[in-house]
Every structure is written in structure tokens, then in C-alpha cells.
Amino acid sequence: QSEVTNGAQHEEPSKEGMSRRSFLGAGALAGAAGAVAAPMTAAMFAATAKAQAAEIKNSPFVHPGDLDEYYGFWSGGHSGEVRIMGIPSMRELMRIPVFNVDSATGWGLTNESKRIKGESAHLLAGDSHHPHMSMTDGRYNGKYVFINDKANTRVARIRCDVMKTDKMITVPNCQAIHGLRVQKVPYTKYVICNGEFEVPIVNDGKASLEDVSQYRSLFNVIDAENMEVAFQVMVDGNLDNTDADYDGKYFASTCYNSEMGMNLGEMIASERDHVVVFNLARCEAAVKAGKFKTYNGNNVPVLDGTKGSDLTRYIPVPKSPHGMNTSPSGKYFVANGKLSPTVSVIAIDKLDALFADKIKPRDTIVAEPELGLGPLHTAFDNKGNAYTTLFLDSQIAKWNVEDAIRAYKGEKVNYIRQKLDVHYQPGHNHTSAGETRDADGKWLISLCKFSKDRFLPVGPLRPENDQLIDISGDEMKLVHDGPTYAEPHDCMIVHRSKLKPKKLWTRDDPIFAETVEMAKADGVNLEVDNKVIRDGNKVRVYMTSIAPNYGMTEFKVKLGDEVTVVVTNLDQVEDVTHGFCMTNHGVQMEIGPQATSSVTFIADKPGVQWYYCNWFCHALHMEMRGRMLVEA
């Protein structure tokens, strides 16, 4: 226990018994003091050239003006956002506000974003963990990225054609959505996610709050297209991470608190917790047959998947497992031990027999390799190797899955291929396309929770460290350190050929369709008109923008009016985004080319109030402004 809580702070001793940092320091010092460079021989030149040539095959260098080969989608942790990275340059390309409020784009302030946030529009914070892209036949299809909000029990969807959040739901009957993945095969019909914190299923404060035996966690199955909860499955124990198979039959989730402990000591008491496997066909049939209950006044079907149910199977694994990862071969679920130095490899082709009660749950385990301290998450290449983060050891363990299976059968084989130091304390890792059939064994990202000495100090709060590792050769090679702001938990890497983002908005985009409808009802043609519509003390101001002008440079309202400003950006030039900011009102937003955005506020200050464009758009950008005249 003390190892777990202190692990984040201590420095790992190297082989020589010094901390890695002091070891590096001593080595560097020796180099500076003693070494005199020997002249390079022809053989040395040749060797260097060869090494360079090998490196160029999988080069992390992306020169100015060159484009990256991959998009990376990074969660932003408790910043609540999602970030788009270029891989291998590790350049941050864009931020997509999701559960947070964003000053630059007006996400959380505009009427369009509030509509998308729906019932949770009043929440200004979030904690995003697991971004995962929709798939067709086990391959990314470039359509959506889904992301969970642990803090407020939400799931959101990002539309990859515009890279904006377009749906958000609050999942009922449970608390803290954690692990999230997508159905891989035949396509992403469902998004699957875990309610982590166990609570009374009717949590209205009337039943006994102390009776822990009545607490439940729910596995959630969400329809990816309409973003409604299709059904939920009640389980024993809590739920942590999850993943799907490549057959469209099973989902699996880890449970770190089968004890139903309410404090640390209780939660880590058992030597074994479990993996719950969900049988999709049986769950869908049970919903169809009406074998469910509903709770808390909503109509989401809740199935009973507790022990003894035919919908689930519980596979005991050692101790407080965390990550759940499916191998791209489709053969194995890998549960990462966290408090056990092992990972548990579950053979997916044995699950039919398990559900037919022909074998025992532990008979599905085909390997349990010992990798090191604190295994959290595992990624895969296309050569049968797995890469597991060791949080306490600050390492990535590369191991061979088939060799681990042979070792489990009693053969004398070393399944460990390499251990690479990372800096420091890695949580998730991810390989290029590694959660799909297209796993290509080129890049590995290690999302390190602590950067310690790797960057210039910036005060008590330090960045994290996202490290890029070349895995194309026999040996893992660390090639880049990238500081990141709190807190990418997870990421995914998709080849750029899978994505075709739009360059301009199209006027029929559903994100602002309701605003277009409102204009129609007011008799306003958004692409032409600049008009003020008064409706009692509500005033709707419709204006266009073309760099460097708003279609309206002044409008009049009365003190106390509720003002809605609707801006339609008529620019057809790529990259010409305008803004609208009403000074002293906390109002600002982005209006992309050919988009419409709107924001509503109270005109609570009398007199002359300037508005201006806050996205740099033109040499006369400063002049792109106008006055709201507020009569007292």
C-alpha cells in the first residue's frame, strides 16, 4: 500500500543503485571532464550513416511546412477538453472544447453549444479520460470520437468532419463514467462505458445510505448514432476500464473493488478482483423480451448482470486490475494488474464455452506474465508484441503474447523483449492504430503523469510528459518529450487517410440548424439580412460578417433587454474566422467561415457598448467593430 501511494514521488534506483537522475548526472559530468573526442574513422562514419538511415525510415522529424502522418486525439483530463495532435511531430494542432467552457470559441457560452450540452449546460467543468473513434469492421472510420466525463457522468461525441462536439448526454442511474470504448465489429453501433462509483440504484436519499450491499455499478451501452442509452447492465463490484472484441459478441470490463470497500484498506483487501464479460446478444435479447427494470423515473432498461446472471461471466484476476485492452489479432483481452505485477490474458475464443458453462471462468486465462510493478495499460504492435506501462517502475515493458502463453503452459521461454525507462510514471500508452486491425507497429505514446526534471521548472505545478517512442525496430527508442497540461489520460492515433475534415462549414449544418429556424420564424434570411427584431423585452440582432466588416455597425436596445446576437460569417475563404465580443459583458464567440453562431446576454449596462471581432481576420481587423447603444 505504501508503495502505491509513494510510488509517484520516489525516484527509481537504477541497476547501479543510484537514482536514475543522479546516474545520468554523473555520466554527463564524466563526459564533460574527461573525454577527448577521437577522430572519426571511415568505419565509424559508415556506422553513423547506417544508423541515420535506419532512423529516417521512421523519423520523428516533421519539417516546417510538412504534414504529419497521423492525427492523435488526446483527452484533456480535468481540463475537460480533447486535443488534436500531429504525430510524429507531437505538435498540438487544435483543441476541441467539450465539457469545459472555452473563451476563444465561446463553447459553453453560445446558444448552439448550450443546446448541445443540453441538461448539463450549467456545468462549467469536466474530466475527460478516454477518446475513441468510431469503427467499421475493426478499423477507424473517421466519423466520430467519443469521450467520457468522469466528473459529471457524461458522454460526448465529436463530429470529425468539423472537429466540434455535436452531442452530449448525462448517463442516468449511475455515477462517474470512467472506461469508455466503442463496439469494433461489425461497426460502432454502440459506445460502451462504465459507471465507476457504486451507489444505491435509486439514489434518492430515502433508502439506507450505509447499506453498502445495496450499492451497484452499471455498465452502459449507448447508441452511437442517436446518443441515447440503449440499456444498462447492473453488476457486482465496481467497474473501471472496458474494451470490445473483434467479433461483435463480447465486451469486457475490469473491476478494482469487488470488495465493495468504502475506504482504501477495504478496497485493496482481496488478492483477486475480476473482469466482467458481457454477452451482447443475450443482453439485446433480454431487452427485447422485456426482462429489465427501470429506475429513477427514466425509461432506460436496466438488466440484471449480477453474479449468476446469464448475461455476464465473472473471471477472477489478481489484484485491483485497471486497464482493459483487446489485442488487434482479436484473440485476447488483457487485464492490467495494477497492484499485481502481472497482466491477465483472456482467450476470447474460450468465452463461448464459458457462457455455455462448459468451462470455469479461470479456464479462459491463457497467460499471466509478470512484467513489473504497477501495470496499468497495454498497447499492441502488428508483430504479436504488447507494450505495458509500469506506473511504479516508470517503464514500458515490451513482451511477446504467444511466448507468455507458452510460459504459462510451463515452457521455459523469456517473454520479456525489453524494458524502456520513461519519464515518469506512465498511465495510458497507445500505439499507432493499435486498438484496431490496422495496428502498424510504428509509434508508441507513453502518457507520463510526472515530468519531474525533464523540463524547465514552472512552479509547483509541473506539466506531464507525453513521450513518443519508435517501435518500428526490434528495440523501442525514445525520440521525443512533449510537455502537456493537465491531464491527458488516454489517446488514440489514426492515420491521416481516415479523416477528411471540412474546410468551410456548410449552411445546412445541424449544429446551428435551430438558429437558422429561429431566423426563418423571424422572417430573416441569414445570408443577406442585417436586422433587429424586437419581441417584448427580447431583442434578436441578426448580422452578417465579411472581413473586415460586420453587416451592422450599430444597434439600439433598452437597458435590461435580453439581447441575442446572431452572426453569420459570409466569408468563403478558408481559415477566415471572425469573432464577436461584446465588451464588459463576458460575451465572446467564434464564427467560422460559412457558419452561424449566436449568444444571448442581458444589456445591463447603459450607454455606448462596443462590440468587436476577436479572431484576427484582416489588416483592418481592429476596425471590425460596432456599437450597441443602450438607452436607459
First to last CA, the chain: 66
Among 273, 490, 571, 590, binds ligand CUK (CB under 6 A): 490
Instruction: Detail the DSSP E strand segments found in 66-162.
Output: 70-75, 82-87, 91-96, 132-136, 139-149, 154-159
Residue 430 contacts ligand CUK per CB under 6 A: no
Nearest approach in angstroms of CB 621 to ligand CUA is 4
Among 110, 113, 232, 241, binds ligand CUK (CB under 6 A): 241
C-beta closer to ligand CUA: residue 7 or 548: 548
Q: Report residue 547 as a C-alpha cell.
A: 472581413
Q: Report residue 50 as a C-alpha cell.
A: 547506417
Nearest approach in angstroms of CB 97 to ligand CUA is 20
Residue 428 contacts ligand CUK per CB under 6 A: yes
Residue 130 contacts ligand CUK per CB under 6 A: yes
The contact set with ligand CUA (CB under 6 A) reads 547-548, 578, 613, 615-617, 621, 624
x/- contact string, 270-309, with ligand CUK (CB under 6 A)? ----------------------------------------
Contacted by 249, from ligand CUA, ligand CUK, none: CB < 5 to 8 Å by type = none
C-beta closer to ligand CUK: residue 129 or 164: 129
Contacted by 184, from ligand CUA, ligand CUK, none: CB < 5 to 8 Å by type = none
- State the DSSP H helix or E strand holding residue 578, giving kind and residue range, or none if neither: strand 578-582
Q: Note whether 451 and 482 are within 8 A (CB).
A: no
Cis peptide before 487 (omega within 30 of 0): yes
Nearest approach in angstroms of CB 514 to ligand CUA is 24
C-beta closer to ligand CUA: residue 193 or 547: 547
Nearest approach in angstroms of CB 101 to ligand CUA is 22
Residue 427 contacts ligand CUK per CB under 6 A: yes
Positive/negative CA dihedral, 454, 456, 459, 465 = negative
- According to DSSP, residue 214 is labeled G
Query: Which 3-state string (H, E, C) describes 255-281?
Result: ECCCCCCCCHHHHCCCCEEEEEEEEHH
435 to each of 183, 444, 488, 493, 591, how far by Cα in Å?
11, 12, 18, 9, 35
Q: Which residues of 256-292 are buried (b: 16+ CB within 10 A; e: fewer)?
A: bbbbbbeeeeebbebeebbbbbbbbebbeebbeeeeb
Contacted by 578, from ligand CUA, ligand CUK, none: CB < 5 to 8 Å by type = ligand CUA
x/- contact string, 306-345, with ligand CUK (CB under 6 A)? ----------------xx----------------------
Contacted by 350, from ligand CUA, ligand CUK, none: CB < 5 to 8 Å by type = none
Nearest approach in angstroms of CB 607 to ligand CUA is 24
With vertex at residue 524, the alpha carbon angle to CA 518 and CA 527, rounded to the nearest 5 degrees, is 105
C-beta closer to ligand CUK: residue 159 or 489: 489
Residue 376 contacts ligand CUK per CB under 6 A: yes
Residues 6+ apart with CB under 8 A from 188: 134, 135, 136, 141, 144, 182, 224
451 to each of 144, 255, 362, 461, 623, how far by Cα in Å?
31, 29, 39, 10, 44
Nearest approach in angstroms of CB 398 to ligand CUA is 50
Nearest approach in angstroms of CB 422 to ligand CUK is 13
Instruction: Detail the DSSP E strand segments found in 531-577.
Output: 531-535, 538-546, 549-550, 554-558, 562-569
Nearest approach in angstroms of CB 449 to ligand CUA is 39
Contacted by 427, from ligand CUA, ligand CUK, none: CB < 5 to 8 Å by type = ligand CUK
Q: Note whether 84 and 163 are within 8 A (CB).
A: yes
Beta strands 229-235 and 302-304 are parallel
Contacted by 550, from ligand CUA, ligand CUK, none: CB < 5 to 8 Å by type = none
C-beta closer to ligand CUA: residue 278 or 550: 550
Nearest approach in angstroms of CB 590 to ligand CUK is 29
**459: alpha, beta or left, given left = phi > 0 and alpha = psi -120 to 50?**
left
By beta carbon distance, the residue nearest ligand CUK is 427
Contacted by 613, from ligand CUK, ligand CUA, none: CB < 5 to 8 Å by type = ligand CUA
Residue 181 contacts ligand CUK per CB under 6 A: no
Q: Report residue 574 as a C-alpha cell.
A: 478558408
Contacted by 615, from ligand CUK, ligand CUA, none: CB < 5 to 8 Å by type = ligand CUA
Residue 143 contacts ligand CUK per CB under 6 A: no
Beta strands 531-535 and 164-170 are unpaired
CA distance 516 to 522: 10
Under the rule (CB under 6 A), what is the footprint of ligand CUK? 129-130, 178, 241, 322-323, 376-377, 427-428, 489-490
